[in-house]
Amino acid sequence: MDREDPRRYESITRQRLEDPASVQRAASLRRKHAGPVLGRQNFIIAADHPARGALSVGKRATAMADRRQLLDRLQIALQNPACDGVLASPDILDDLLLLGALEGKLVFGSMNRGGLTGLVNEIDDRFTGHSAAALAALGADGGKMLTRISYEDPDTVKTLAATADAVSDLARHQLVAMVEPFISKRAEGKVVNDLRPEAVIKSMGIASGLGETSAYTWLKIPVVQEMERVMAATTLPTVLLGGDPSGSPDEVFASWQAALALPSVQGLTVGRTLLYPEDGDVAAAVATAASLLDTTATVRS
């Protein structure tokens, strides 16, 4: 594919226009991932940010605005055999299905994107994306939900209740519920997440108890200080998020490597840091991240 050709994804537009059912057919024909196992950490690339109006990466305010470039970068990442799958909003997931880019991959859909960045009621994070039933129909492995907990915002109760319902619904479909919790507050008009170890531990405890069962629940948490103490707070499978990149790449990768060595850490679910590295080399960033994971699986008895 010529990545300079502005028409390089015209086939997707044609299929969407002339044959919308091709998305479901592509999902039905897709070869699935064998499934997670203890000891083989998973590497999932995240691309659900634009659906929440979050287009910036570092100081680049519109880095994720060009959909063609985003698809280029996602395909580069997914072509690495060590990249196990993707977490994406419905529009991006459908594009990747039509491109045949998800063969043998783990697939997670993004469920709540209603808490738009900067919205006056951002904490009331409505479930505007995938439903559990839709994910089951696509043959996906699970759904992810962002769960921001603000003690000063009454809308937190709505978000917690909606998250609990989604966890239960996913469990009924035997799909993973990937819950990404934060203790959050407003500062200078913006919602900011409290990344102190105590706050992350508290958010994990709250998230773990949501829903009728935690049998299918995973946690998705940031890499913060005192990660050994943080990870002592759960027995749930846990993936590490990248967030908006800060610090040098070497510092970021070193922090991931240390956290990946801890019990219950099942891998990485990272987007912007790898899709939009400062030097522009997506393949190299993905390869470096992949090299940090333990892929020696424990034999099931």
The reply to whether 170 falls in a domain is: yes
The reply to whether 137 falls in a domain is: yes
The reply to whether 21 falls in a domain is: no
The reply to whether 228 falls in a domain is: yes
Which pLDDT belongs to residue 1? 76
pTM: 0.95
The reply to whether 185 falls in a domain is: yes
Ranges in the chain, pLDDT < 50: 299-301
Which pLDDT belongs to residue 297? 63
Which pLDDT belongs to residue 61? 94
CATH label of the domain that carries residue 163: 3.20.20.70
Which pLDDT belongs to residue 229? 98
> 244, 124, 123, 130: which is closest to 176 by C-alpha?
130
The reply to whether 9 falls in a domain is: no
The domain of 72 spans 41-291
Which pLDDT belongs to residue 301? 38
The reply to whether 8 falls in a domain is: no
The count of structural domains within the chain is 1
The reply to whether 10 falls in a domain is: no
- Reported as a single tens digit per residue, the pLDDT across 53-97 is 999 998 999 999 999 999 999 999 999 999 999 999 999 999 999
